[in-house]
Structure 1
Amino acid sequence: MSELPKPDFARNMRIVGYSDQGGRPDGVQVMVHRGHAYIGHMFSKGFSIVDVRDPKNPKPVKHLAAPPGTWNIHLQAHDDLLLVIHAKDMFAAAEFADEKAYYKGQLGKVVGTAEAKPEAARDWSAGLAVYDISKPAEPRRIGFMPVEGGGIHRVWYTGGRWAYASALIDGFTDYIFITIDMSDPAKPREAGRWWIPGMNQAAGETPSWPQASRFGLHHAIIHGDTAYAAWRDAGMVVIDIADRSKPKLIAHRDGAPPFGGGTHNCLPLPDRDLLIVLDEAVLDHQEDGIKNVWVFDNKVKSSPAIIATFPQPGERDYRSKGGHFGPHNLHENRPGTFVSSELIFATYQNAGVRVFDNRNERAPVEVGAWVPPAPPRMMDHRPNRTRVIQSADVFVDAAGLIYATDYNAGLFILEFDGR
């Protein structure tokens, strides 16, 4: 085993193993299932599988390439199924060479899907692919649900009949919420949809929000018959999905102003009637302002209320380090993983991986940190990117091992020893 990377900063965390993912060290979402890590790539196209049954010696075993013009950055694994998104590769497109263009305004209008012109040339694959992973290292594609438009961004699936996704569909200004019937995994189909009024341009709706705001769904986390949807600059939207064919609004907690916008995760902690809501930092040097992880009291489901924020990393000046500084993603307490309403794991991009003690919900404290070193090389091909780490996703398995991806730096397998 080669020498493990040494952190720029660490507190109550240590590295166990590392993988460059078969020479494709860029990663976005990671799922660990039956001893294998499934990792969606941002720049290497497609997704990879790493055998992590021995976490000290992770071994890349397979890479599946994406179709031309397509990214597979997000995926979900449960039981014998792997769901992989297909969408336009936004960061390979000339219109998004300046990163700001992706995070401001109505994405469907920039991409051209809001006009709903089916005759327009589409040089990407759009939809949801379903794989049989009964042999974990050998995914076998068994189904595909096409989407007319830009594609799917992120999925939530924890087994059973229903999956949920954000979809950029022809005629809509940005990603909306859809339910997906998985009763026949070989033939998944859309069952219902919900959007913020004003998004359905094809039906004559007109946005009421500022032109520079992105009112588009990142994804929803599901608890029972409720979807907690992170709607970027629109904040958190809570949706009743008891009837999967006709979702309806429960509550909308606006995100910007007065808050920073960019809402990325809305994590319910049902045993404590709390929500952890993360706003993503999307521009370099905090140009989009300070972004927070919020604690909401969720006792009144129709009116969740902010009661606290997580502390910001403060051991160095991350704002001037380069790249994005601020929250990106949460470990989402999926069934079969490490589930806790007291320990919260988050990535903070150029500030690495953070662990928070939330036992006092009105005064969360940071109890762990691990900041990877600068990546040896850049996978991010966009102009003017700084060679710093950008920790992307964090997944904690049932045994407590932490798996963290990075846009450029590979897969880090970590342990937290603070409690």
Structure 2
Amino acid sequence: MPQVSRRRHLQQLSGVLGAAALSGWPGPAVSAEAEIPPEGIGKGIKHISYSDIGGRPDSVQVMFNRQHVYVGHMFSDGVTILDASDPRALKPVNFFTAGQYTRTHHLQVADDLLLLANGANIVAMQSYDNMRGYFENTLVDSITKAKKFRCGLSIHDISKPGEMREIAFLEMPGFGINRLWWPGGRYAYVSAHFDGFTDHILCVVDLKTITKPEIVAKWWLPGMNRAAGEAATPKGKRFALHHMITAGDRGYAAWRDGGFTIHDISDPANPKLLSHINWSPPFAGGTHTPLPLPKRQLAIVADEANAEKCAKGLFHTFVLDVRAPENPVPIATLPTPRDRDFCASGTFGPHNLHENRPGSFQSEETIFATYNNAGVRVFDIKDAFAPKEIAYWVPPVPKKLVDPRPNIGLAAKTCDAYVRPDGLMFVSDWNAGMHVLQYQG
């Protein structure tokens, strides 16, 4: 092999394998302790405003509809609605709750309807001494405290801005829903736990009659149906559907430590497995968000960082070639932020990706990602083999810790980002409310 070609090949392979996760971490440009101002530190991203979400700063998934933002909470058992007509001054206008111990942290909005995950407030029902307990044990084995909660899918009319009028509820006996995907249309793809299973599985819900949703399919990885006597998940690993995202007649699903699957969903009531790939081991797992880029026949797949101070090494976001859906191939990783020593405090690494929803910013070349204490990162993937970071925003350290779990560091935990077509971003944080940012690219 010619020397130049060989060098390029090795560079590409190094990116794919994420060698920096194992060794060779270069010295950071700035220490983690260097002060960050309240508006954060950005390159190519401008800070517009901040909201503590009406005193409930524990924010997760964000949706936008009719100049209002809908925010699911991690610990506060509800959804806050904010008037975002003036992005410089978000105004809380309503709060919905399904009751104490019912977590409603994930939601989907389309066609003036909101689909809401209802399930157990897991954090309130566990007894681990650190956050890794949640990520390294099957869901049913992690619940230690019995509480009453509502479990299933609720559907809300949001045609009147600032209001959530429940019009249907589909019960799902178990510990509830983690995330769901519904960009509009007849079918919703839900990550839900059902009695008898070890953790969240795929559940397809038919919304033909919106007030009478119906479960039409379930699919899971082998070993998850404990009631049927299937072989157990490896100890210390968590096989669970985080969520599926669809594109056309394909479904792309992330299974935490169980890897990544592609499905034929031309018949949604009968999803068929096309392929299953798992890079854990050697990587740490936590596969979280599968973002298909159908025109380019690529998928961006983020592994969720789930340990403080890089205790499990670095987590990565992979670029996959999915031209042959029966044989997806990792071809690169998004570059790891190195502008600070992010491993020195809190959780560092990928959490979620902006999901190219209808009505939002959509691109198959510009990827928006959240990176916990490293904030928001924007990547150019025009060359899928050589992604590069083109903008970032690092958040300030929160004034106080909201996360009630023990042994959690006081650090930013940038969670989700919803990006409008004009580049305005609504960015949530488990501990620190919501920042409104403007992408200037």
Relative to the length of structure 1, the TM-score reads: 0.94
Q: Which residue in 2 is equivalent to 1:368?
A: 391
Alignment deviations for residues 285-309 of structure 1 (CA, whole Å, 9 cap, x no partner): 1112210011111111111101111
User: Could you say which residue in structure 1 is the equivalent of 2:211?
Assistant: 186
Residue of structure 2 aligned with 1:378, choices 401, 408, 414: 401
Aligned equivalents of 1:94 and 1:301: distance in 2?
38
1:304 paired to 2:328: yes
Tell me, yes or no, if structure 1 residue 220 matches structure 2 residue 241. no
Q: 1:284 aligns with which of 302, 308, 311?
A: 308
Q: Deviations over 1:36-80 (max 9, x none)?
A: 110001122201011111111211111112312111110011111
Q: One-letter code of the match for 1:134?
A: S
Mapped partners of 2:42, 2:391: distance in 1: 8
- 2:51 corresponds in structure 1 to 19
2:52 and 2:147 map into 1 onto residues whose CA distance is 32
Question: 1:96 deviation in Å?
Answer: 4.1
Q: Return the letter of the residue paired with 2:84.
A: V
What per-residue deviation string (whole Å, max 9, x for no partner) do you get for residues 13-48 of structure 1? 111122111111110000111211100011222010
Residue number among 159, 163, 169 corresponding to 2:194 in the alignment: 169
Pick from 258, 263, 278 the counterpart of residue 254 of structure 1. Answer: 278
- Number of positions where the alignment pairs a residue of Structure 1 with one of Structure 2: 405
Amino acid at match of 2:134: Y
Q: Answer yes or no: is 1:85 the counterpart of 2:117.
A: yes
Q: Which residue of 2 aligns with 1:244?
A: 268
Aligned residue for 1:356?
A: 379
Does 2:79 match 1:47? yes
Give the structure 1 partner of residue 163 of structure 2.
138
Instruction: Classify the secondary structure of the residue corresponding to 1:83.
Output: strand
Determine helix, strand or coil for the equivalent of 1:234: coil
Distance in 2 between the 1:121 and 1:395 partners?
34
> Hey, what does 1:271 align to over in structure 2?
295
Root-mean-square deviation over aligned CA pairs: 1.5
* Inter-partner Cα distance in structure 2 for 1:342 and 1:318: 26
Matched residue, 2:143: 111
Are positions 1:344 and 2:367 aligned together?
yes
CA distance in 2 between partners of 1:290 and 1:272 (Å): 27
Distance 1:246 1:393 in 2: 31
**What residue number does 1:116 align with?**
none
String of CA shifts for 1:358-409, please: whole Å, max 9, x gaps: 1111111111111111112222122222221100001101222111000111
SS of equivalent residue, structure 1 residue 395 = strand
* Aligned twin of 2:179: 154
Paired residue type of 2:72? G
User: Is the Cα contact below 8 Å between 2:65 and 2:112 reproduced in 1?
Assistant: no
Residue type matched to 1:73 in 2? H
CA distance in 2, matches of 1:416, 1:68: 37
Aligned partner of 2:346 among 305, 310, 323:
323
The normalised TM-score by structure 2 is 0.89
Q: 1:249 aligns to what SS in structure 2?
A: strand
Q: How far apart are the structure 2 equivalents of 1:255 and 1:304?
A: 12
**409 and 121 in structure 1: CA distance in 2 versus 1, 3 angstrom threshold:** closer
Contact 2:303 2:316 in 1 (8 A): yes
Give ranges in structure 1 of 5+ residues lacking alignment.
Answer: 113-119
Distance 1:95 1:367 in 2: 41
Is 1:293 the equivalent of 2:293? no
Say which SS state the counterpart of residue 367 (structure 1) adopts: strand
What residue in structure 1 maps to residue 21 of structure 2? none
Contact 2:71 / 2:81 at 8 angstroms: preserved in 1? yes
CA shift, 1:258, in A, is: 2.0
The residue number in structure 1 matching 2:16 is none
Unaligned runs of 5+ in 2: 1-36
1:324-347 residue CA offsets vs partner (Å, 9 max, x unmatched): 100000000011110001110001
The answer as to 2:431 corresponding to 1:399 is no
Seen in structure 2, the aligned counterparts of structure 1 residues 110 and 387 have a Cα distance that, compared at 3 Å, is closer
SS of aligned partner of 2:127: helix
Query: 2:355 matched to which residue of 1?
Result: 332
How far is the alpha carbon of 1:8 from its aligned partner? 4.1
C-alpha deviation, 1:97, in angstroms: 5.0
3-state DSSP class of the match of 1:44? coil
Say which SS state the counterpart of residue 10 (structure 1) adopts. Answer: strand
Q: What is the identity, as a one-letter code, of the residue corresponding to 1:181?
A: D
Q: Distance in 2 between matches of 1:183 and 1:171?
A: 28
Partners of 1:272 and 1:65 lie apart in 2 by: 41
Calculate percent identity across the aligned residue pairs.
Answer: 46
Note the 1:189-208 alignment, pairs <5 A. Answer: 189-207=214-232
Report SS of the residue matched to 1:386: coil
- Letter aligned with residue 62 of structure 2: V
> 1-side partners of 2:326 and 2:305: how far apart?
27
After superposition, the C-alpha distances for 1:124-149 in whole angstroms (9 at most, x for unaligned) are 11101110001020110111011110
